[in-house]
A and B are shown apart, each in its own frame.
Chain A
Amino acid sequence: MRRYIYLFINVCIASITFSCEEIIEVNLNEGDPKYVIEADLTSLSSDQVIRVTQTVPFNADVPSKPIENARVDVSNSKGEVFNFAHQGQGYYVVENLKPRENVVYNLSVNIDNELFEATSKLEDFVPIDSMGVIEERVFNESYYFVLFKFNDPVDTPNYYRYSTSVNGSPFKFSSAFSDKFNDGLYVTHQIANSDNSLAMGDSVVVRRQCVSKDVYNYWNEIQFANPGNAAPSNPKSNISNGAFGYFSVTAAKEYGIRIEVL
């Protein structure tokens, strides 16, 4: 809903005013560096990757600083422990962790004796009923979306997260949904890539994950971050001790489709 309103208001403001955009220099401070942990374990394979990095100054010419001396472990409620091995550039991997339903997973990351922990449980995957492609025209521009139709389970809160890979590029987050407004209904999700630029002929792989509430909240804050926000803030992480990032263990599926003439 907010999405509609913002889109519309932006279009209105743009059309009634002569707005102009220019690159400027802003003198920004350097905050104390924070650790960032990206731990997205999915049921797609038993190879799992966790990345540990650190924030960098705004003007740095690298996107983040890899942390290479962390000890990364995942344990579960069955008593199993998985020790992740550093592979370079802050990437930590294991090859034998396939998340299972009804098992609770605990993340533990130790960096220079600072401990960061989080817990996640696999949510049931909600299967789709059908998928397709739709074209929408807004002010004479065409936009393409991948459609997923499915029955949302009644009376349980469900949260969905999508990421896309276009023409073989790495997966990037595209959108997150909750069933706050359509619990238990036959629901359609409309997915584009992160910058809404799907084009005719693109080959798209969409990864659909059913995530927990805290992970949804994390991504929801990211997707609705906008320059009109009075008080931008760091999205709330489910990892302890002030680390950024998130820990998510999910059932996931990937769907490939080509954007073609309908």
Chain B
Amino acid sequence: MPYFLIILASLFSSVSLIAQDKTTISGYVRDAASGEVLIGAVVQIKDTQNATSTNSYGYYALQISDPNTELIVSFVGYQFLEQTINASENKRYNFELISSDNQLEEVVVSVKKQNDNVTKAQMGAFNFTMEEVKNIPVVFGERDILKTIQLLPGIGKGGEGSSNFYVRGGGADQNLILLDEATVYNAAHLLGFFSTFNSDAIKDVELYKGGIPAQYGGRISSVMDINMVDGNNKKFAAEGGLGLIASRLKLEGPIVRDKGSFMVSGRRTYADLFLKLSNDETVNQSKLYFYDLNAKVNYRFNDKNTLYASGYFGKDDLGYGDLFSFDWGNATATVRWNHIFNEKLFSNTSLIYSDFTYNVNVSNDESDFTIASKIENFNLKEDLSYYADNKNTLRFGLNLLRQKISPASLSARGESAVNSIDIESRSGVEAAAYISHEWKPSSWLSMIYGLRATDFMVQGPGTFYNYDEEGDPVGEQSFDGGVIKHYFNLEPRLSLSAILSQEHSVKASYNRIVQNLHQLTNTTSSLPTDQYVVSSINIKPQYADQAALGYFRNFNNNAYEFSMEAYYKYMGNQIDFRNGADLQANIYLEGELLYGIGRSYGLEWYLRKSKGKLNGWISYTLAKSERQFEQINDGEWFNARQDRTHDISIVGMYELSKKWSLGATFLYYTGNAITFPSGKYQVDGRTLFYYTERNGYRMPDYHRLDLSATYEPRKENKRFHSSWSFGLYNAYNRRNAYIIDFRENEQNANVTEAYKVALFGIIPSVTWNFKF
């Protein structure tokens, strides 16, 4: 840690020295209608490459050398703004941009498209605002940012009935999903048919699959950073939708005009209401629904201080009469304080809590018990940005994260025929410090390099076991408290861009990331009951080293973006299980784990058109992802389940007229690697299957076409808008295999057969949306 401070101090002073005596203007860029801050808006000195973009709170700082400077402020989907400023000393300039949606029809909207994707050093990143993706077709008419992300290159889809995604061959638990900085542990509703992200409440999402900046850590494959909307601070507004499966409502408005606002957004499904129609008493008392609630308030005390508080609460509830119930959900809470020390130094302090819990209740004649499990974390973060000059930005910060896992414990009630079981909780504290320097040494080169240092401390109290080769416990150590073990890691990060011209560049990146939270999944579709473990005496931190190289090119005045990236990722300390592992309420759980390595590599192509009536993108990934464990597959490399040779997505959105817009997505990917039998035998008259090679087979290729149409009637009056969304999921009714299984033939038990189960055929949907 002291070394780290020295490095930080010296970098800081060297950058400060470079900074010349110039005027810095700073401020916020906002939406003119709602006052919502815009993230990633570009503030540029006209006719120069001197530009900066707003951070996740809408703040920018830019140095100018001439007091009279012409600026261009722009953001995707907004009319750009040209303004001449007159500043001879450091000064605040806040800008408001007008959304192209709110334009009078007569005005021709010219959206200035940026070439950030070419010139910025960052690679392997995507950014979407909800507005950009609103016409992409979705299942059951529910917009879902998590499913949209899966249409990008390098992001493997979890398939039907799963909100999982796999980034560059990594596991589903290797993605850091943040909602207003809070970790979301389980991003799935209804066993994966929906994600936990209600699109109404979301402003934008940033996804990193490589060259992950130093301010992020904790998951080795990707970061998905989601920002909630702050709420309209100019006027009260409501927005909602009625769909076949779910309904939504969002309310927002000023607390004090132009100073503070609130936003509340809720959603609930009502498929279970149909169960009430059943005349079977147990069935009509059954439950099957989810709801979620997002809320956020912000208040700007003065020019220098803004406070944000936001939270999410969601729950899924399944129940069968009084006999059985199963509920699970995430909760998050974030309090953030933005403080501007001076034009150049922006600080954000966050205090974050999030948890994920599940409960199972069983109550019948024999047994009456509850199983409860919880994982929670408290997180304190301090992030600072120092805008030294237009060529140097320093980001540095500290982070203290405490995670606690209370594994499934069973508590019996009354005269129950089961015993209560209490499994020790486990906790760990991760202290991290980072520094990262964004540097543009010349007009053709820009880079971000940084270092993150983490110290993961395994916390007591607890009893830890040692295991032999077979996984049987051979010794135990008890600890009262305090730190049992440190895992100290340095994580270097680098991305750089060689700008060949304003239209094309070559980028390279490298990152090392360490992960101390591990999810144990032994099913193909992860369940809410999957257990989490933190690094311990036996479980070492997972880590990944990833290197990537890319070529970025824009055409036609930035109307087309093209990129090609190649990557190689090595993953250490990966976890798998012994055959027949018992992962439930097992105090010797760690004895069931096996440790190995992984590697993945691939090529990704991406072509996007973002101007004109027709826009959308094509993405194609050619990739390989493998694992190696001494005790699995005779120690030979085997395909990871999510290994997909080919993965193609085509997304098209077309504005047919002022009233109608159309959307279509087509996807195709190689089936998952899977273990199928290579023979059969009989034991006690029962046919069993003989497995030889782990993941040696493939599911059939998956492909699907979804269509959508949105109808927006001419605005009848100024205040009230409504629209209809029609969707057709799986338009050509492809029966994609969800499961392939094997069984004895019913007529002749000597003969065995394979069968597949497909989940969805063609599904139409309709949703009515309103806004006022």
A: residues with CB less than 8 A from B are 1-2, 4-5, 8-9, 11-13, 15-26, 28-34, 36, 38, 40, 53-64, 137, 139-140, 163, 170-173, 180-188, 190, 194, 217, 220-222, 227-236, 244-246
Contact with A along B557-588 (1 / 0, CB 8 A): 00000000000000000001101100011000
Query: Which A-chain residue is minimally distant from B281 (CB atoms)?
Result: A137
Contact of A5 (CB < 8 Å), options: B360, B682, B690: B360
Tell me which residues across on chain A come within 8 A of B371, comparing CB atoms: 1
Q: How far apart are B472's CB and chain A's nearest CB, in angstroms? A: 11
Contact A186 B417 (CB under 8 A): yes
B742 within 8 A of A: yes
Contact of A232 (CB < 8 Å), options: B360, B682, B691: B691
Give A59 to B576 CA distance when docked, in angstroms.
Answer: 31
Contact with A along B161-186 (1 / 0, CB 8 A): 10000000000000000000000000
Contact A31 B692 (CB under 8 A): yes
Q: List 22 A-B contacts (CB under 8 A).
A: A1-B360, A1-B371, A4-B362, A8-B318, A12-B318, A20-B757, A21-B758, A26-B676, A31-B690, A58-B677, A62-B750, A63-B680, A63-B687, A171-B685, A181-B419, A181-B421, A182-B418, A222-B688, A232-B675, A233-B691, A235-B580, A236-B580
Give A199 to B393 CA distance when docked, in angstroms.
Answer: 76
B216 within 8 A of A: no
Contact B686 A194 (CB under 8 A): yes
Central interface residue in A21, A25, A140, A227, by most chain B CB within 10 Å: A227
B754 within 8 A of A: yes
B223 within 8 A of A: no
Tell me which residues across on chain B come within 8 A of A59, comparing CB atoms: 752
Tell me which residues across on chain B come within 8 A of A183, comparing CB atoms: 419
Give A163 to B689 CA distance when docked, in angstroms.
Answer: 20
Contact A58 B680 (CB under 8 A): yes
Q: How far apart are B273's CB and chain A's nearest CB, in angstroms? A: 13
Give A40 to B685 CA distance when docked, in angstroms.
Answer: 13
B21 within 8 A of A: no
Shortest Cβ-Cβ A-B pairs, 7 listed? A31-B678, A227-B741, A31-B692, A233-B579, A221-B580, A55-B679, A26-B754
Contact with A along B328-369 (1 / 0, CB 8 A): 000000000000000000000000000000001010001000
Contact A8 B324 (CB under 8 A): yes
Q: How far apart are A57's CB and chain B's nearest CB, in angstroms? A: 6
B263 within 8 A of A: no
Contact A57 B271 (CB under 8 A): no
Contact B690 A234 (CB under 8 A): yes
Central interface residue in A62, A180, A186, by most chain B CB within 10 Å: A180
Given contacts A34-B679, A234-B691, 9 further A-B contacts (CB under 8 A): A8-B326, A17-B759, A23-B754, A31-B692, A63-B749, A137-B282, A181-B585, A229-B523, A230-B524
B760 within 8 A of A: yes
Contact A234 B760 (CB under 8 A): no
Central interface residue in A173, A187, A232, by most chain B CB within 10 Å: A232
Tell me which residues across on chain A come within 8 A of B418, comparing CB atoms: 181-182, 185
Contact stretch, chosen from B430-438, B499-507, B536-544, B732-740: B732-740
Tell me which residues across on chain B come within 8 A of A54, comparing CB atoms: 681
Contact B749 A139 (CB under 8 A): no
Chain B, interface residues (CB within 8 Å), range:
35 or more
B694 within 8 A of A: yes
Tell me which residues across on chain B come within 8 A of A18, comparing CB atoms: 759-761
Contact A58 B678 (CB under 8 A): yes
Tell me which residues across on chain B come within 8 A of A25, comparing CB atoms: 754
Q: How far apart are A45's CB and chain B's nearest CB, in angstroms? A: 17
B683 within 8 A of A: yes
Contact A232 B681 (CB under 8 A): no
Contact B756 A4 (CB under 8 A): no
Contact A217 B580 (CB under 8 A): yes
Q: How far apart are B180's CB and chain A's nearest CB, in angstroms? A: 30
Query: Which B-chain residue is minimally distant from A15 (CB atoms)?
Result: B288
Give A26 to B288 CA distance when docked, in angstroms.
Answer: 35
Central interface residue in B282, B679, B694, by most chain A CB within 10 Å: B679
Contact A19 B677 (CB under 8 A): no
Contact B579 A234 (CB under 8 A): yes
A-B contact count (CB 8 A): 214
Contact of A20 (CB < 8 Å), options: B360, B679, B740, B758: B758
Tell me which residues across on chain A come within 8 A of B681, comparing CB atoms: 34, 36, 53-56, 63-64, 244
Contact of A29 (CB < 8 Å), options: B524, B684, B692, B752: B692
For chain B, residues 514 to 537, give those with C-beta under 8 angstroms from any C-beta of chain A: 521-525, 527, 529
From known contacts A8-B318, A21-B757, A230-B522, infer whether A31 and B679 are also in contact, taking CB-CB under 8 Å.
yes
B400 within 8 A of A: no
From known contacts A5-B529, A31-B690, infer whether A12 and B191 are also in contact, taking CB-CB under 8 Å.
yes
B764 within 8 A of A: no
Query: Which A-chain residue is minimally distant from B410 (CB atoms)?
Result: A181
B755 within 8 A of A: yes
Give A250 to B152 CA distance when docked, in angstroms.
Answer: 58
Give A235 to B683 CA distance when docked, in angstroms.
Answer: 11
Give A73 to B221 CA distance when docked, in angstroms.
Answer: 55
Give A114 to B418 CA distance when docked, in angstroms.
Answer: 45
B476 within 8 A of A: no
B374 within 8 A of A: no
Central interface residue in B522, B681, B688, by most chain A CB within 10 Å: B681
From known contacts A16-B271, A20-B761, A31-B678, infer whether A230 and B692 are also in contact, taking CB-CB under 8 Å.
no
Tell me which residues across on chain A come within 8 A of B694, comparing CB atoms: 231
Contact of B525 (CB < 8 Å), options: A8, A56, A222, A228: A228
Contact B580 A21 (CB under 8 A): no
Q: How far apart are B108's CB and chain A's nearest CB, in angstroms? A: 47
B753 within 8 A of A: yes
Contact A30 B760 (CB under 8 A): no
Tell me which residues across on chain B come within 8 A of A62, comparing CB atoms: 750
Give A106 to B741 CA distance when docked, in angstroms.
Answer: 37
B105 within 8 A of A: no
Contact A19 B759 (CB under 8 A): yes
Q: How far apart are B49's CB and chain A's nearest CB, in angstroms? A: 50
Contact B684 A171 (CB under 8 A): yes
Contact A12 B690 (CB under 8 A): no
Query: Which B-chain residue is minimally distant from A16 (CB atoms)?
Result: B271
Contact B686 A58 (CB under 8 A): no
Tell me which residues across on chain B come within 8 A of A36, comparing CB atoms: 681-683
Give A229 to B527 CA distance when docked, in angstroms.
Answer: 11
Give A8 to B323 CA distance when docked, in angstroms.
Answer: 11
B303 within 8 A of A: no
Contact B685 A172 (CB under 8 A): yes
B641 within 8 A of A: yes
Q: How far apart are B518's CB and chain A's nearest CB, in angstroms? A: 15
Give A23 to B280 CA distance when docked, in angstroms.
Answer: 33
Give A17 to B756 CA distance when docked, in angstroms.
Answer: 15
Give A2 to B417 CA distance when docked, in angstroms.
Answer: 17
Query: Which B-chain residue is minimally distant from A29 (CB atoms)?
Result: B678
Q: How far apart are A121's CB and chain B's nearest CB, in angstroms? A: 18
Central interface residue in B523, B580, B641, B683, by most chain A CB within 10 Å: B683
Central interface residue in B161, B692, B737, by most chain A CB within 10 Å: B692
Q: How far apart are B110's CB and chain A's nearest CB, in angstroms? A: 46
Tell me which residues across on chain A come within 8 A of B318, comparing CB atoms: 8, 12
Contact of B750 (CB < 8 Å), options: A58, A61, A194: A61
Q: How far apart are A170's CB and chain B's nearest CB, in angstroms? A: 6
Contact A24 B417 (CB under 8 A): no
Q: How far apart are A217's CB and chain B's nearest CB, in angstroms? A: 6
Query: Which B-chain residue is minimally distant from A181 (CB atoms)?
Result: B418
Tell me which residues across on chain A come within 8 A of B580, comparing CB atoms: 217, 220-221, 233, 235-236
Give A208 to B539 CA distance when docked, in angstroms.
Answer: 40
Give A106 to B499 CA distance when docked, in angstroms.
Answer: 75
Contact A24 B529 (CB under 8 A): no
Query: Which B-chain residue is minimally distant from A245 (CB atoms)?
Result: B683
Tell me which residues across on chain B come within 8 A of A227, comparing CB atoms: 739-741, 757
B484 within 8 A of A: no
Tell me which residues across on chain A come within 8 A of B326, comparing CB atoms: 5, 8
